[in-house]
Amino acid sequence: MKKIYSLLVFAFAVLVTNAQTKSDPEAKKILDGVSSNFKTFKSPQASFTYQVENAQGKVLSSRKGSVSMKGNKYHVTMGDLEIFSDGRTSWNYDKAANEVTVNGVDVSGSAMTPQKLFTNFYDKDFLYKLNGENKVAGKTVQEIEMTPTDKSRPFHKVYVLIDKAAKSIYSARFLEKNGNRYSYTITKLTPNAALADASFIFDKKRYPGVEVVDLR
């Protein structure tokens, strides 16, 4: 579970950093459009699939998840993991261990959040270029290839597919140096879902016997 959580956070981290001045201006134009479009959503909710493959393309594992956002609040679920944040406090709940870790949120704006996954995901640390268009699952997608400038990263390429018509991220695929690959694919995106503020707060009463680790 801790490994899966680390990969999830790491994927968010990769997607909130991207370009240098030598990156493809056409790719930047597309990414700018995705960011601007997402910022018009009041309370987006997305379902996704997380998949791991080996170097031969064999699927090693696959999990479904979801993420809900409203302002600076968010709620992520994937397997036995749930992450809640009301913008001030975050709760990471491990169902298998029935344990929740509580942390304060970095209000400086530098903290990693799902919101940044869909908006400020191309600011620095990567070179990127547009590889062209293709058809995937009946959608016209634009593939943007990202190469990390920091060669110590465990991966050497990231391929992001943009749904051209919707101006939104369709998937992100990470190629590790050891040959393994993992990807996140958005299976459904609702721009303005009905989300109660209480859904972004961990309610201890709903988790009998939960162990609370408060790191604030």
pTM of the entire predicted model: 0.78
The per-residue pLDDT for range 123-151, each reduced to its tens digit, is 566 788 999 999 998 999 999 998 877 77
216, 65 Cβ separation under 8 angstroms: no
- Alpha carbons 35 and 28: distance in angstroms, whole number: 10
Q: What is the predicted pLDDT for the residue at 147?
A: 85
Give the model's confidence band at 101: pLDDT under 50 very low, under 70 low, under 90 confident, else very high.
very high
CATH classification at residue 97: 2.50.20.10
How many domains are there within the chain?
1
Q: Which domain holds residue 27?
A: 2-214
Q: Mean pLDDT across the stretch 172-199?
A: 92
Q: Is 85 exposed, middle or buried (0-12, 13-18, 19+ CB in 10 A)?
A: buried
The per-residue pLDDT for range 18-29, each reduced to its tens digit, is 434 467 889 989
